[in-house]
Amino acid sequence: MRLPGRISAAIEVLDDIEKRKRPVADALKDWGLSHRFAGSGDRAAIGNIVYDALRKKLSNAHIAGGDTGRHLALATLIRDWGETPESLNEMFEGDRFAPEPLNEKEIEAFKRDNPLADAPLHVQADIPEWCQNSFERNFDEEWVAEGQALATRPPVDLRVNTLKANRDKVLKALKRVKPVKSEIALNGVRMKAGTTDARTPNVQAEEGYQKGWYEVQDEGSQIVADLIYARPGEKVLDLCAGAGGKSLAMAAAMENKGQIFAYDSDRGRLSAIFERIKRAGAHNIQVRQPDDGSLDDLLDSMDKVVVDAPCTGSGTWRRRPDAKWRLSRDQLDVRLREQEEVLSQAIAFVKVGGFLVYITCSVFPEENEGQIYAFLDENPSFELVSAGEVWQDLFGFDKNQPWSSDLKSITLTPASTNTDGFYFAVMQRNA
């Protein structure tokens, strides 16, 4: 397929997403199944247009003068892919798979100087309007820039599994896709985000992945796993383990010594963890199913309890831009209640002198500092420990620094640390 046909396909997918209110991955998969003539390069390019368009949906619509799939796709090609109205019309002419040429009104819209100057600030930030207050509270005068950073393409990040490999070994094995060492994470490897129709490297098809040398994991997620500071011989409960990314990182940090208990209230979310444990060679992870009494023997005995809490996922909007536009205030309220419940549940497992670690992949203060300070008010036996000092001990002062008002808890963001958005706090249980 040539670019005009790819643009037409992207317009079709974008219209389907809007009409049927469905996840972008599902819409792209269905398009590929019904258009089997499209090669992998075509599908990658179409997906890039769609994702780029959705990341900047509000600002694209403002510039283009509408929010149809055509408006969003054309704005993406002109803003981010280096095209002009003239170059697009030249490509479209005589191509039977191309969209309709740009008309005079569309050309005029794209020719305006500084077309976002009159846009509301939440449009410039490319976030839902109802989220503006949360962003302002969290990021002060930099909230627009933080929103814009969440509308950029993410890199591909890997965590080297030190139980089986080291970073130099993984860099050598993947040299054809030009990996580099992560800037902050202790065992991270990164492939920088591509531009225009660049294909994302399929690192899971590589020999090193099959042998368990590395896992796909955003650098922000790696950093908070580093900050947990799990040590050999400790007993750790991962209370919201999901597919096990942080359990696997802790297992490597603990050198397979001690015990990690991986639990999740949703049995389905745990389904992927078993194969990952096997591939990683992690022998100190014990999976606990959500059955009655399955955690009773762990009461008051854990050195660390990790709560990777259910959240809105606002910190991952670079990777899941469609979720940004589906999120509602009601859904945030549901997540806040779930966070309160899981924090309350975690208390019973922390031994005196032990630590309760709270993590979200959100940048909303309601889900982060708001939850922690409310928890501390209700549970005076817990004391907030300085996560900022742990950061400085692990990563030093010469790296990009996270957001923190008091060095007690920290927030990672694409703009501050060049990672997904994550919040991290740790509390110690006193007698």
- Which amino acid appears at position 291 of this protein? D
* pLDDT recorded at residue 250: 98
Identify the bridge partners of residue 426 per DSSP, sorted by sequence position. Answer: 357, 385
d(CA 284, CA 233): 10
264 is in an annotated binding site: yes
Which ranges constitute the DSSP H helices of 103-186? 104-111, 121-125, 132-139, 143-149, 167-173
Dihedrals phi, psi of 236, to nearest 5 degrees: -125, 130
Q: What is the mean pLDDT of residues 246-273?
A: 97
Instruction: Give helix 69-79 / helix 104-111 axis angle, nearest 10°.
Output: 40
Sequence-ordered list of residues with C-beta below 8 angstroms from that of 43, at least 6 positions apart, any chain:
28, 32
Sequence-ordered list of residues with C-beta below 8 angstroms from that of 339, at least 6 positions apart, any chain:
309, 310, 311, 360, 367, 371
* pLDDT recorded at residue 304: 98
Q: What is the mean pLDDT of residues 221-248?
A: 98
Residue spans in the chain of domains classed CATH 3.40.50.150: 219-429
d(CA 248, CA 276): 8
Q: Is residue 431 packed enough to be buried (19+ CB in 10 Å), middle (13-18) or exposed (0-12)? A: exposed
Does CATH number 3.40.50.150 belong to domain 219-429? yes
Residue 431 has pLDDT above 90, yes or no: no
* pLDDT recorded at residue 215: 98
* pLDDT recorded at residue 407: 86
DSSP 205: G
Q: What is the mean pLDDT of the chain?
A: 97
Write the pLDDT tens digit of every residue in 38-66: 999 999 999 999 999 999 999 999 999 99
- pLDDT classification of 405: cutoffs 50, 70, 90: confident
Reduced to 3 states (helix: H, G, I; strand: E, B; else coil), residue 100 is coil
For domain 156-216, the CATH superfamily is Sun protein; domain 3 (3.30.70.1170)
Tell me the CA end-to-end span of the chain in Å, nearest whole number: 67
d(CA 257, CA 40): 43
Could you list the active site residues? 361
197 is in an annotated binding site: no
15 is in an annotated binding site: no
Residue spans in the chain of domains classed CATH 3.30.70.1170: 156-216
- Which amino acid appears at position 94 of this protein? G
d(CA 214, CA 247): 14
